[in-house]
């Protein structure tokens, strides 16, 4: 499938008021226009797209959907046919949902774990419309998307890997240098970074572990880190550089209980001519100073809808 990367992410949260202040003042996100069909939600801009992150009021903090961007209408149509041929249950988004997301068309589907995904094309944008919420050099999005997301899965199965590589056409990058079982994957058209999405095995658990966002300079990383420290926000990992990417980053927890990794590219990614097997997680820094799994990681029974859980159990 000709997928560029993650075009947008949606979350449910019990902490909208905290996000309203934290998003612009800590992360530097811009405030996006709220669609008439979704007046109670909060939308953040990271570039000239209508939005990149959406936070909807909910009874629990959890990821609501992952929006993948197809290159265009022809790529979208081909992907829809491939999902149908593979027997994946898809729902076609109606006019109201497409307008809420600001896209031409979209479909919705779940992965074998139960996470909700969307595939779309042609998200609305306005040139030179991004204004950061504070002094900030900007985010690296544009044709590359939001960044990456790391999810926890209660079962790491061959079915999951086949769904990602065999159906969605993602590249398998590798398992990284972590101690547990993790798989890193990137979309077909991503030649900039090692992964768009990763799944880490956590028995009996699921939820967002972290979201990685790219900023344009080391200064943006450092100034964000200073703000995090000044506000006494919980760090997860200190400033450092992973072995698998020539990037500098640090991790801290946001109001919803998952971590943001704020990243800048020290040099272009080297690609993956062969599968790497890093000796260690990072070449320097990245001292673990907080929990690896934050309060956003819970049981499937807490995060998945009862109706979906019932259907999944009936098929088991």
The continuous run of DSSP H or E covering 184 comes out as strand 182-186
- Give me the tens of pLDDT residue by residue for the chain, a chain 316 residues long: 999 999 999 999 999 999 999 999 999 999 999 999 999 999 999 999 999 999 999 999 999 999 999 999 999 999 999 999 999 999 999 999 999 999 999 999 999 999 999 999 999 999 999 999 999 999 999 888 999 999 999 999 999 999 999 999 999 998 877 667 899 999 999 999 989 999 999 999 999 999 999 999 999 999 999 999 999 999 999 999 998 888 999 999 999 999 999 999 998 888 888 888 888 889 999 999 999 999 999 999 999 998 888 888 787 6
DSSP state of 33: P
* Contact (CB, 8 A) for 154 and 113: yes
Closest among 50, 44, 47, 46 to 11, alpha carbons compared: 44
The residue whose two tokens read 């998003």 is 23
pTM confidence score: 0.96
Matching CATH topology for 3-121 and 142-300? yes
Q: How far apart are CA 53 and CA 50, in angstroms?
A: 10
Domain 3-121: give its CATH architecture: Roll (3.10)
* Contact (CB, 8 A) for 44 and 23: yes
Closest among 93, 96, 70, 65 to 82, alpha carbons compared: 70
Q: How far apart are CA 253 and CA 255, in angstroms?
A: 7
Each domain of the chain, given as residue ranges in start order, spans: 3-121, 142-300
HEC profile for 16-42?
A: HHHHHHHHHHHHCCEECCCCCCCCCCE
Q: How far apart are CA 169 and CA 97, in angstroms?
A: 26
142-300: in CATH 3.10.180.10: yes
DSSP state of 170: P
Two tokens, residue 30: 């811009």
* Contact (CB, 8 A) for 155 and 204: no
């Amino acid at each position: 499938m000709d997928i560029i990367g993650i075009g947008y992410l949606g979350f449910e949260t019990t902490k909208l008021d905290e996000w309203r202040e934290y998003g612009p003042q800590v992360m530097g996100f811009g405030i996006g226009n709220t669609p008439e069909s979704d007046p109670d939600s909060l939308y953040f801009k990271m570039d000239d797209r209508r939005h990149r992150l959406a936070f909807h009021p909910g009874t629990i903090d959890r990821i609501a959907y992952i929006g993948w961007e197809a290159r265009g209408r022809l790529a979208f149509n081909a992907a829809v046919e491939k999902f149908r041929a593979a027997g994946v249950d898809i729902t076609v988004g109606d006019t109201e949902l497409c307008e809420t997301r600001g896209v031409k068309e979209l479909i919705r589907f779940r992965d074998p774990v139960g996470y909700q995904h969307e595939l779309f094309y042609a998200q609305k944008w306005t040139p030179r419309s991004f204004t950061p919420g504070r002094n900030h050099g900007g985010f690296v999005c544009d044709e590359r998307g939001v960044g990456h997301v790391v999810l926890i899965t209660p079962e790491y199965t061959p079915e999951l890997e086949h769904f990602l590589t065999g159906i969605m056409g993602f590249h398998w990058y590798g398992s990284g240098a972590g101690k547990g079982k993790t798989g890193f994957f990137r979309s077909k058209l991503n030649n900039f970074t090692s992964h768009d999405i990763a799944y880490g095995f956590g028995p009996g658990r699921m939820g967002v572990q972290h979201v990685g966002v790219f900023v344009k300079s080391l200064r943006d990383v450092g100034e964000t880190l200073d703000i995090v420290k000044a506000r006494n926000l919980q760090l997860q990992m200190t400033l450092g550089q992973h072995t698998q990417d020539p990037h500098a980053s640090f991790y801290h927890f946001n109001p919803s209980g998952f971590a943001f990794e704020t990243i800048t590219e020290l040099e272009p990614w080297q690609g993956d001519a062969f599968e790497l097997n890093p000796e260690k997680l990072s070449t320097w820094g990245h001292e673990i100073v907080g929990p690896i799994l934050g309060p956003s990681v819970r049981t499937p029974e807490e995060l998945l809808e009862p109706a979906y859980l019932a259907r999944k159990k009936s098929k088991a």
